[in-house]
Amino acid sequence: MRAVIQRVTSASVDVEKERVGEIKLGFMCLIGVMDGDTEADAQYIAKKITGLRVFEDNEDKMNLSLKDVGGSVLLVSQFTLAGDARKGNRPSFSTAARPEAAEPLFEKLKTMIEEAGIPVETGRFRTHMEVALVNDGPVTILLDSRREF
C-alpha cells in the first residue's frame, strides 16, 4: 500500500461538483492499494498516519501528531500511485489492486484511523474526483508498506 501524506490547513474533494469530503487542519492522504496488499499493509499505513509527528510544537520543532493538534484526515483512493513509468511514457498500472480487492482494504484503513480517534473524511471510490488542498509547509511524506525509502 502506498500513501502520499500532505500536511494541510484545509483540503476537500468534490465529485460531479458535489463536496463529498472536507477537512481543516490535518492530513490529505492519497492511497494506492497494490496487488497483494493485505490488512497488515493497511495497519502499517494507519499506524504511520496516526503517529506521524510533523506538526510544530512551541519550539517550532516537528514534534506533534494529529491527535496532539486535533487534526483530521481526508483519505482519497488513487490507483495511479501504483503507476510504473520507468519504461516509455505511458505508465503501467498492472501492480494496482483490482477494485474488488482495493475498496475493502481502503475502507479497512479508514476504520483503523477512526478507531485511533482521528476524524476521517473520504472521496468516493472509483469516481473522477477534484481534490483541493492547502499544503502547509509544504510537508509531504511518502509511505510504502513494502519498501523503505
Nearest to 93 by CA among 5, 30, 39, 34: 34
Q: Among positive and negative, which fits the CA dihedral 137, 42, 103, 73?
A: negative
Tell how many helices (H) and how many strands (E) occur in the chain.
3, 8
Cell of 50: 496516526
Radius of gyration of the chain (CA): 15
Q: What are phi and psi of 118, to 5 degrees?
A: -105, 125
Catalytic residue among 9, 80, 111, 127: 80
Q: If DSSP codes are grouped into helix, strand and coil, which group holds residue 85?
A: coil
Write the CB contacts of 106 (distance below 8 Å, at least 6 apart in sequence): 31, 33, 75, 77, 125
Q: Mark whether 122 is an active-site residue.
A: no
What is the number of residues in the chain? 149
Please give the positions annotated as active site.
80
